[in-house]
């Protein structure tokens, strides 16, 4: 059945709801070129302003899934569980998390992306490891899950092609913030991926896409409902992103910090969130009584990491690249660090070369920001606060400008808010 796209735009503009048949048609027509970019832009803006109900969002997601292939992990002898983060600064959790969960005979098909703007990309981080490759065929993914138990790789072009086209359009038309479109974008790929269970890490704060807890809760609830409607056991944690995660933001820097976590050390916040998400993934995969924390301390997770990296052509023993140029920023005064703005740190890392402004841009493996103090820490005037890393020292001035005003100090000790703000299932 064919429809007139202008009628659909008017319906949503005026606060009406789209039928299943209308949604199926417009997603298919847009994917195949029958609906123009400018027409889909108008519909996306109407959705941003007027919203969608749960049934509409579920059908929109299903239509995007139907635009491409679905992966099938039913041949595996172990259950599958995946994690998705909505993105933040210093968010390296996938790197230690995937091998940690795989220790307990749960397969982790972690199809990940690249960074854009101030948020880092998992694939960019891992590509700082010599030889490691992100692009695997479906058969290679299945074999690695069967053999190693974990894979972190790029999503194939066949998964939800409608989303790839619509995502690029939203980015240029001021409609990125539409919660129905964010939720369906994330969940169409995750459901098409074929995982049996999904844990969502929905970030809240200055360095996150969702700035308020109310916004983040709405997005998390929408995605959990979509997972439930599709038969995927889905749980969401709401986690703080006013302050960067860990003490590094940048590609090779974050891999190095992830290795510290896999070796039983690393920053307390990275360990806390890695273990919390691992517990959720294991419970969703039918193993609620497993405590994953000891596997970080005793080397089992590191063993899986080494096998996972080697399986994708990487050398787990190769030294990570190091920046030739560094610049230290010192504390302006003594006292306690009371605030460290995650967005400012993310922009600084991006300007140093760790991120990209456009999808086709290259990134530097060595670029980023190292944090020597975090909120709650006591510092003396002149003590190192940040070290900036880059291969191109002409970038320092703009990175320093991003950090201007990013840190506040207090004479009295400050209470650091908890990392995990809520849970939805």
Q: Which residues are catalytic?
A: 84, 163, 170, 185, 189
Which CA distances in Å does 256 have to 168, 266, 316, 321?
A: 32, 10, 11, 10
Q: How far apart are CA 135 and CA 349, in angstroms?
A: 25
Q: 384 - beta bridge partners?
A: 330
Neighbours of 324 (CB within 10 A): 11
What pairing do the DSSP bridges indicate for beta strands 233-240 and 197-204?
A: parallel
Cβ contacts of 175 within 8 Å, gap of 6 or more: 41, 44, 45, 47, 48, 169, 181
Q: How many CB atoms lie within 10 A of CB 383?
A: 13
CB half-sphere exposure, 183, CA atoms < 13 A:
32
């Amino acid at each position: 059945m064919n429809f007139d796209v202008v009628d659909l735009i008017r319906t949503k503009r005026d606060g009406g709801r789209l039928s299943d048949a209308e949604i199926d048609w417009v997603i298919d027509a847009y994917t195949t070129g029958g609906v123009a970019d400018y027409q889909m832009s108008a519909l996306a803006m109407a959705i941003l302003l007027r919203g969608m109900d749960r049934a509409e969002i579920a059908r929109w997601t299903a239509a995007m899934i139907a635009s491409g292939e679905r992966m099938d992990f039913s041949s595996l002898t172990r259950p599958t569980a995946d994690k998705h983060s909505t993105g933040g600064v210093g968010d390296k959790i996938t790197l230690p998390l995937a091998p940690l969960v795989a220790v307990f005979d749960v397969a982790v098909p972690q199809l990940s992306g690249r960074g854009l703007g101030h948020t880092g990309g998992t694939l960019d981080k891992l590509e700082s490891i010599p030889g490691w490759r992100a692009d695997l065929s479906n058969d290679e993914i299945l074999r690695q899950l069967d053999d190693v138990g974990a894979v972190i790789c790029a999503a194939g072009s066949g998964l939800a092609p409608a989303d790839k086209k619509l995502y690029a359009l939203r980015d240029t038309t001021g409609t990125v913030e539409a919660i129905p479109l964010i939720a369906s974008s994330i969940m169409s790929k995750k459901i098409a991926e074929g995982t049996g269970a999904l844990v969502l890490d929905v970030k809240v704060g200055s360095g996150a896409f969702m700035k308020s807890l109310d916004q983040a809760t709405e997005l998390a609830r929408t995605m959990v409902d979509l997972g439930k409607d599709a038969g995927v056991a889905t749980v969401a944690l709401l986690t703080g992103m006013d302050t960067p995660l860990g003490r590094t933001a940048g590609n090779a820097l974050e891999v190095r910090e992830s290795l510290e976590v896999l070796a039983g050390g690393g920053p307390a916040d990275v360990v806390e969130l890695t273990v919390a998400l691992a517990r959720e993934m294991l419970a969703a995969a039918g193993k609620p009584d497993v405590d994953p924390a000891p596997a970080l301390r005793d080397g089992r997770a590191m063993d899986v990491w080494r096998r996972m990296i080697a399986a994708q052509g990487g050398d787990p023993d190769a030294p990570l690249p190091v920046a030739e140029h560094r610049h230290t920023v010192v504390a302006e005064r003594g006292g306690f660090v009371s605030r460290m703005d995650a967005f400012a740190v993310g922009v600084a890392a991006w300007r140093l070369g760790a991120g990209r402004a456009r999808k086709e841009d290259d990134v530097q493996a060595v670029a980023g920001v190292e944090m020597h103090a975090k909120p709650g820490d006591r510092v003396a005037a002149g003590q190192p606060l940040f070290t900036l890393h880059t291969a191109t020292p002409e970038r320092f001035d703009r990175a320093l400008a991003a950090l201007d005003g990013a840190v506040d100090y207090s004479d009295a000790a400050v209470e650091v808010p908890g990392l995990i703000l809520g849970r939805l299932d």
